[in-house]
Amino acid sequence: MDMISDIMIIQSAQSMSFSGATAVEENVVLKTDSLYTGLRLSFTATQDNVLDHIESIEIDCPDYGAQSSRMKLSGNEVYLLPLLCQMGNSGAADATAATGTSAVTGSDIATSFSHFDIPINKVSMDKDVRITIKAKGYISAGSGTLSVHFGFCDTPFRKVYFRTYNVPSAAGVYQNWFPSDGLLQGIVIGATDGSCVAGGVWNARSASDIAEISLDGVRNTTFTRTQLLASGLDEVLSGGAQGSFVGSDIYAMVRNFVPESGARYVSVDRAAACGLMIVGVMSDA
């Protein structure tokens, strides 16, 4: 089969629906007769922000073998979903349009409505993508639903997948290793209070919480002046307003990142107690 070429987004026949105040897990296998570059997940809730309904989400593409899990988020990590969508899209305009939820606040631009464009880059028709979501239908009201619909995209996506880590609040040095079965293409590190909700994902920019960030313990990639990395996301996701991310305590090594084979690590020295969320942007080796 050929890759979809210059075709509008195509609606999938599959969908999901959640109701009730207790989260349940559902999965869907997305079938299509063509290859595609990405998936759009469209969420509609009765009330509240979409991400507050979701407890976990996994996108599994068997085309990629041991790296079939392209993203797997649970708990606080769910609030990374809009950021991963932006990082997975190619070009500033696509990154801006990749989601209807703010990657900075976790809040929907239009409350209870959002979409998330996720890089897939299907290379085979032999196996279908499986999506697993654990979510609840309502949060603050006595009833409600959350519905999910899917579309196949033919727009440029980066050929990446993601590994994410939620680190409990503490002070001191934390060392995070990334898997060696892929190539690390970039790192994002953000400070949290350890409990994320829409409207309160990241800590405000601080000059004192994170004292040092070091990649592989190498001098040239060790930063005792961590604010040098404060604009790391804005410089690659520049389609939004100036300084979209710099107001939050987020640091990134992305532009001109040099990938190397083998296991790699980042160490973060927290001068004050805070939680961390860490993203490894990976490509298939």
* DSSP secondary structure string for all residues of 235-253: TTSTTSSTTTTTTBSEEEE
Enumerate helices (H) and strands (E) in the chain, giving the number of each: 2, 14
pLDDT tens per residue, range 77-110: 999 999 999 999 987 778 888 999 999 999 999 9
Q: Tokens 């997948």, residue?
A: 161
- Residue 33: is its pLDDT beyond 70? yes
Residue 40 confidence class, pLDDT cut points 50, 70, 90: very high
CA distances from 71 to 66, 100, 132, 209 (A): 13, 19, 11, 28
CATH number listed for the domain at residues 161-284:
2.60.120.20
Could you report the per-residue pLDDT of 240-272, keeping only the tens digit for each?
567 789 999 999 999 999 999 899 999 999 999
Q: Is the pLDDT of residue 145 over 60?
A: yes
Give the mean pLDDT of the chain. Answer: 93
In this structure, are residues 68 and 77 in contact, taking their beta carbons and an 8 Å threshold?
no
Position 8 confidence tier, pLDDT thresholds 50, 70, 90: confident
pLDDT at residue 71 greater than cutoff 70: yes
Please compute the mean of the pLDDT values over residues 2-6 and round it to a whole number: 50
Contact 276, 189 (CB under 8 A): yes
96's tokens: 């801006």
- For residue 2, what pLDDT band results from cuts at 50, 70 and 90? very low
| pLDDT in the model for residue 238 | 66
Residues of 209-239 as b/e, b for ≥16 C-beta within 10 angstroms?
Answer: bbbebbbeeeeeeebeebeebbbbbbebbee
Per-residue confidence band for 142, with pLDDT thresholds at 50, 70 and 90: confident
CATH of domain 10-153: 2.60.120
- Identify whether the C-beta of residue 164 lies closer than 8 Å to the C-beta of residue 235: no
- Per residue in 169-214, pLDDT tens? 999 999 999 999 999 999 999 999 999 999 999 999 998 899 999 9
